[in-house]
A and B are shown apart, each in its own frame.
Chain A
Amino acid sequence: MKPPLPVRLWQWFEQTTPGRAIFRVGVPRSNLARAQAMVSSFLLHLQPAKVQKRTLQPATTLGLGLISLFLFAILTVTGVLLMFYYVPSTERAYNGMKDLEFVVSAGLLIRNMHRWSAHLMVLAVILHLCRVFYTGAYKRPREFNWLLGVGLFLLTLGLSFTGYLLPWDQLAFWAITVGTNIASYAPVVGPKLKYLLLGGNVVGQEALIRFYALHVIVLPAVAGFMIAVHIWRVRKDGGLARPDEPLEAVEQLDAGQLPTNKSYGLMELAKGTSPQVGVDPEDLVSSWPHLLFRELLVFLAVLALVLSLAVFWDAPLEQFANPIHPPNPAKAPWYFLGLQELVSYSAFWGGVVVPGLLVALLALLPFFDRGRAGVGRWFARERAVANTIFSVCLLVMVVLTIIGTVFRGPNWSWQVPWKEPPAAREEH
């Protein structure tokens, strides 16, 4: 049977000089070509030419890292578009938001996409971190990648936080005021950090331009680079973490002993539990098309989710920022509300000790939790202690965040969300 016309057209195009120049190998039809397609492409070569079959199982990772990556991509594209209309000036920023809503074609939709993607990305990154912990995937040789991941988690929070100020409405102004004050509780450097971040003592024009510069170039550039390294390290550290194989073979391996019956070359030489080592070739499948097609599906799903949020729910925009009248209560962005709740008990413990300790624990985790038991399995029995400690910390943070988000009313007093709050007394 002859292939249908579009396919024939494509095949013809691949044979032409420009087609060959662009695609080199064309749509691959042999295993060799599939491997080449992955290796010879700038974007694809961050991933291996072949992957474990279990990598393709959704339950292995839930695709959370990939989802975070796609959200980052959506944020970059929509963010660049928004930059065409945004002016980082206290006088014009808010008007820019109104113009996006009322005048610019698809302006509101793109702002909505950006806003919801940002929230989703914070969520996805947190879940990704949990996944890596619960599967013990931070252990040797992936300690460095775990560190990168913790860094990326903080960067994601930083990106979301700096973006929060830009609309210059009441929500933005007071969330940043509260957020930077939480930062100022840090020992020694806290007040200086706040001063540096705001470019002064109060949230004003200087703070806006600083947050803007951080948000649109500094943090995205650093994050983009770290994401690239993070993904590349996944491959270099031997693909996804999985239960240990005997390690002796790996340690003693040198180039001369590599199997020679493979036609796709030396692409997977890596330390540790490489997919190439000690594994039956039958466990491997070509990344093209198996991995790539699944990634495409994840991308479509993420896009569909973001679009449906953006089409049906508008991003919040409150009144123009007014330094005289804070909303009551003034709340930080939701991912900091756990901290704000803690700070409401004790500035020192909530603003300094707990977050500092948590981040330090996260960063150093792979260096003191060195046992190799339970790597690559969800909730491994051998890791019960670690998992319990982590779960308790996580649960506490989640509960605190929920309390800060819905159970805190005017003056940070306890409020039950399904009851009418007591009428706020008029200020005289």
Chain B
Amino acid sequence: MNPPTPNSDVTRRGFIALACGWTAGAFAGLAAGIGAVRFLVPNVLYEPDQRFKAGRPEDYPDGAITFLEDQRVFLIRRGNTFRCLSSTCTHLGCTVNHSGEGFHCPCHGSTFDSQGKVTSGPAPRALTWYLVTLSKDERLLVDKGQPVESDKYLVV
């Protein structure tokens, strides 16, 4: 390679300077962009907790399917067993209604049987069952973060 002429040396130095400046600028811009995205990611939530206490077992009559409005779930008692079923339709997220033996979704007509399985309509999957446990102070404890099989239940 030929030694650079003085003129091209100036150009090269100019280019390096420019590149440094632009790199710094690009870095700052990128950091600001990431910062803006990070700013928008919520760090705390004000919505109801995914894990919640649902009162004492004896608050629920035998055989009852109780709709808990705050959490939009059905709490189902059969004898001394407790289960918790999501009321969120697996199709597009509407709240299903309890009707007769099963559940039906008012939005697009999906129906589910008493085990949450799809019997008709566009819903792709069965309704989700959630883990129910008993807390230390003998309250029902539902965890919407933990889906379970439909045959798992809490015995009190």
Contact = CB atoms under 8 A, between A and B. Distances in A.
A1 B39 contact: no
B39 A107 contact: yes
Contacts of A249: none
A105 B38 contact: yes
A1 B15 CA distance: 13
A361 to B, nearest CB: 42
A6, A7, A104, A110: residue with the most chain B Cβ atoms closer than 10 Å: A104
Nearest to A7: B15
A84 interface: yes
Interface of B is mostly: helix
Interface residues of A, number: 15
Contacts of B42: 104
Contacts, number: 32
B39 A106 contact: yes
Interface string B16-43: 0001000001000000000110111111
B4 A81 contact: no
A193 B15 CA distance: 58
Contacts of B15: 4, 7
Nearest to A297: B21
Interface string A92-111: 00000001000111110110
B44 A105 contact: no
Interface in B22-69: 25, 35-36, 38-44
B38 A6 contact: no
Contact of A81 (B8, B39, B43, B44): B39
A84 B40 contact: yes
A300 interface: yes
Contacts of A105: 35, 38-39, 41, 43
Contacts of A104: 39, 42-43
Contacts of B38: 105-106
Nearest to B43: A103
15 contacts: A1-B11, A81-B36, A81-B40, A103-B43, A103-B44, A104-B39, A104-B43, A105-B38, A105-B39, A105-B43, A106-B38, A106-B39, A107-B39, A110-B39, A300-B25
Interface of A: 1, 4, 6-7, 81, 84, 99, 103-107, 109-110, 300
